[in-house]
Every structure is written in C-alpha cells, then in structure tokens.
C-alpha cells in the first residue's frame, strides 16, 4: 500500500505540475501581455492565489469530479481495476499537458482528464460504459465558449474604446467611468468568488455571534465596500497621471485585480483535475472498496495539488503566458481587462446552466474578441489555428494515451501477479 501510494502521489504531483504550467497560466497571460504586471509578479500572484483557492476551497469539486463520465459503481467488484485506471488517467493527462505546454499551446486540463477517464473505461469495461452524451456536450463547448466570451469582450471593449480611449480627454472620461468599471469588476467576479469566500465567515457570524442579519447580507456588504474602495483609490491615482493623458495605467490596476480573481477561482475549481484521481486511489487503498458516493478529500492531497500547480507555473508557465498574452494579439491593459471580464462572465453563465466549459477556451475567445475590435489584421491566425487544433485533439489523444497505459499496466500486473491493494 505504501509503495502504491507513493507512486500515485508522484503521478498526481506530475499532473498538477503540468496543470500549473498550462491551465493556470491562462489567468495571468493577458496581464503579462498587456504589461500590467511583469512575468515574475504574475508568477507570484498566481502562485499564491491558485494555491489558496486549491487548498481552501478545492475539496468539493475534487470529490465530485469524474462521476459524470463513467459510473464508479461499475467497478464495485474490481476496485483494483479502477485504481489502475486512475493511475493511467494521471499519466495520460499529465503527459498530454506537458507536451502542449512545451509548445506553448493552452489546452483544457478538464478535457484532458475527462478524455483519459473515458479512454481507460473503454478498455477496462466497454465503450457503452462511457456517457458519450457528456463527451458530446463537452465537445460542443469548444465552439460555444469562445464565441460567447469573444462577443462579450468585443462589446465591452468597443464601449471602452468609444467612450474613453478615443475621446479627446480620455482621463476626464475615465474619471466618470471608474465607478461603473469598479461595479462591473467587483460585481462579476464577486458573484463567482464571494459566495464561496464569505460562507465560512457567515457560519461564524451566525453560530458564534448570532449576527444572522449581517451574515445574510455579507456578500453584498463585502462587494459594496470593495466597489467603493476601488473607486476612490482609482480616483486618487488618476490625479497623479492626469498630465500624461494616458488612461491605460489606471485600467491596468483593474486588470490586475481581475486576474487575481480568475486565479483564485481557477485554483478552487480545476485543482480537482489533478487530485481527484489521487483522492479516489487513496480511498480505495484505505477501504479496499470503490467510493460509490462523494468521499472526503484529505487536506494533504489538496496541498500536494496546490504545490504542484505553483511549481509548474513557475517553471514552464511562461510559455503559455506568452502565447495568450502576446501570440494572438498585442494587448493593452484595457483589452486585457475586457478579455478577463468576458471570461469570468462566460464561466459564470455556464455554471448557472450546469455546462462544462474551459477557462482556456473562454480566455482565448475573449482575446480574439478584443482583436476583432482593434482590427482583424491585428490577430495572428496562425497561432489560433495551432490552438484550435490542440483543443480538438485533446480528448482523443488523452483517451488513447490512457487506454494504452492502462492496457500495459494491467498486462504487467496480471503477468507478474503484482498485488497493489
């Protein structure tokens, strides 16, 4: 058991490392590309927030991942088979993310994990064990997500360009728009982050201090205070830059905040792609049975995933950051801010509808939407073709790798009568 746990922990760390290098880089790509932050600053900010989101709020998503592609109950009589399958998922998803990251292509870790699960399930059981309707819905998001995000980004950026950037006195116009930009930023990201962040504090206020009324309005109170604070701080900084007539440094502050929210929200959700297979393996090793319902994810598993994410982001994250921030269009802070706001809005709407979407796809769509307003000639279509190709081959490649790894592992374990439980 100890040796198996050590091997699977190393594989989960490898997958988390590659997830950090590829998927996490999305949250800071536009901020680096627009020069709102430096690469080193982006790595520090994303590392801290991704780790915090993963460890503090990643347990629920990690516990529920993978039950929608194949039913674990089908492996009830063969827990070792599921264990080997989850190890194959860790290897396959990690290898594919590693390959994509080396070439700087942003892919979806969710799609890689889903494809890997479907791949080993087809070999271990049969193709009928896979919920192909779920696979079809995920494939549909390759088209729908970038379109929605790109449309929102284009509409938002066109208004900023018209009413602020193209005006004779952009600083004066920005002064009038700052409260609205603050409300849009805090409101959009607050709906995603604040309910999760404020829940423990709400429980504390209710259970220990009996402040039910205050706790009920806590997200609104935090969001309103944040909007007011951001507005006044921006107005103060505006006075220092009024002579330059360049609104971009002020908008860059909004973009940094939006990138922080994306990083936190991403860490709390997508860490499950790396650690959920490990959590299932730990449960099987401890109970010798298949976890048929939601199971508790140990804290050390979340910490391991968070550490891997931060390490991968620091070592290889710059490749994907360069592709999203510089390889598609040349970004200014105003454009990067609009792309990130559109990404958040798209993810929020999809979550309300229960649709599986990818942060990578939404952010690329947002950047392209900004590029369309700047002018079609500003878009590097060669980069887009390469990105699109990696999107469409992620699930089949991850499935093929997982099926191959599972077949080889199952053969060797059976041939040499290896007991891993």
- Domain check: are 263 and 393 in the same one? yes
CA 206, chain centre distance (Å): 32
pLDDT at 355 over 70: no
More reliable by pLDDT, 305 or 124: 124
Q: Is residue 420 part of a domain?
A: no
Length of the chain: 421
User: What whole-number distance in Å separates Cα of residue 380 and Cα of residue 384?
Assistant: 7
Q: What is the pLDDT of residues 1-20, one digit of tens each?
A: 678 888 999 999 999 898 88
Residue 1 DSSP label: -
Structural domain range at position 287: 2-169+245-415
Look up residue 183 and give its two tokens: 């409300």
**DSSP of 172-208, one letter per residue?**
HHHHHHHHHHHHHHHHHHHHHHHHHHHHHHHHHHHHT
The reply to whether 329 and 400 lie within a common domain is yes
Residues 86 and 175 in one domain: no
- Give per-residue pLDDT as tens, 282-308: 888 888 888 766 667 788 888 888 888
Distance CA 147, CA 145 (A): 5
pLDDT of 210 above 60: no
- Contact yes or no for 205/365 (Cβ under 8 A): no
Residues 21 and 130 in one domain: yes
* Residue 293 and residue 341 in one domain: yes
Q: Same domain, yes or no, for 92 and 32?
A: yes
36 within domain boundaries: yes
Query: Does residue 421 fall inside a structural domain?
Result: no
User: At 319, is the secondary structure helix, strand, or coil?
Assistant: helix
Say how far residue 183 (Cα) sits from the centre of its chain. 23
Query: Residue 161 half-sphere exposure, CB side, CA atoms within 13 Å?
Result: 16
Give domain status of residue 366, yes or no: yes
> Which among 210, 244, 278 is the end of a domain?
244
267 contact partners, CB below 8 Å, separation of at least 6: 24, 49, 50, 51, 52, 53, 54, 57, 58, 306, 309
Domain boundary among 227, 244, 261: 244
| Model pLDDT, residue 215 | 47
The overall average pLDDT reported for the chain is: 80
Q: What is the pLDDT of residues 393-413, one digit of tens each?
A: 999 999 999 999 999 999 998
Question: pLDDT tens digits, residue range 194-204?
Answer: 655 555 555 55
The structural domain count of the chain equals 2
Check whether residue 294 and residue 238 sit in a common domain: no
Q: What is the mean pLDDT of residues 175-203?
A: 70
């Amino acid at each position: 058991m100890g040796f198996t746990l050590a091997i699977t922990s190393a594989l989960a760390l490898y997958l988390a490392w590659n997830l950090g290098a590829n998927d996490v880089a999305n949250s800071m790509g536009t901020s680096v590309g627009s020069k709102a932050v430096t690469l080193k600053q982006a790595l520090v900010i994303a590392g801290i927030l991704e780790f915090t989101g993963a460890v503090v709020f990643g347990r629920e998503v990690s516990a529920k991942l993978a039950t929608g592609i194949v039913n674990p109950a089908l492996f009830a009589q063969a827990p070792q088979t599921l264990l080997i399958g989850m190890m194959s998922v860790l290897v396959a998803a990690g290898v594919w993310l590693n390959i994509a990251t080396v070439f700087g292509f942003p892919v979806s870790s969710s799609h890689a994990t889903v494809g890997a699960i479907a791949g080993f399930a087809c070999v271990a059981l049969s193709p009928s064990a896979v919920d192909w309707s779920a696979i079809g819905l995920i494939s549909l998001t390759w088209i729908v997500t970038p379109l929605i995000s790109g449309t929102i980004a284009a509409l938002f950026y066109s208004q900023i360009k018209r009413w602020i950037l193209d005006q004779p006195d952009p600083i004066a116009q920005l002064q009038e728009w700052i409260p609205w930009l603050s409300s849009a930023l805090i409101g959009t990201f607050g709906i995603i982050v604040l309910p999760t962040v404020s829940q423990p504090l709400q429980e504390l206020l209710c259970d220990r201090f009996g402040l039910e009324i205050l706790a009920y309005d806590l997200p609104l109170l935090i969001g309103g205070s944040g909007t007011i604070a951001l507005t006044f701080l921006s107005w103060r900084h505006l006075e220092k830059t009024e002579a330059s007539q360049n609104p971009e440094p002020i908008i860059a502050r909004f973009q940094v905040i939006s990138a922080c929210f994306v990083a936190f929200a991403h860490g709390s959700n997508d860490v499950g792609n790396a650690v959920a297979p490990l959590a299932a393996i730990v449960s099987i090793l401890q109970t010798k049975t298949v976890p048929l319902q939601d199971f508790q994810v140990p804290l050390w598993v979340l910490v391991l995933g968070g550490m891997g994410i931060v390490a991968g982001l620091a070592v290889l994250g710059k490749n994907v950051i360069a592709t999203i921030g510089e390889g598609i269009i040349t970004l200014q802070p105003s454009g990067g801010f609009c792309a990130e706001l559109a990404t958040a809005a798209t993810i929020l709407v999809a979550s309300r509808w229960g649709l599986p979407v990818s942060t990578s796809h939404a952010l690329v769509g947002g950047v392209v939407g900004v590029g369309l307003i700047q002018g079609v000639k500003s878009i590097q279509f060669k980069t887009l073709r390469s990105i699109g190709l990696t999107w469409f081959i992620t699930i089949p490649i991850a499935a093929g790798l997982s099926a191959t790894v599972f077949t080889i592992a199952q053969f060797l374990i059976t041939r040499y009568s290896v007991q891993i439980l």
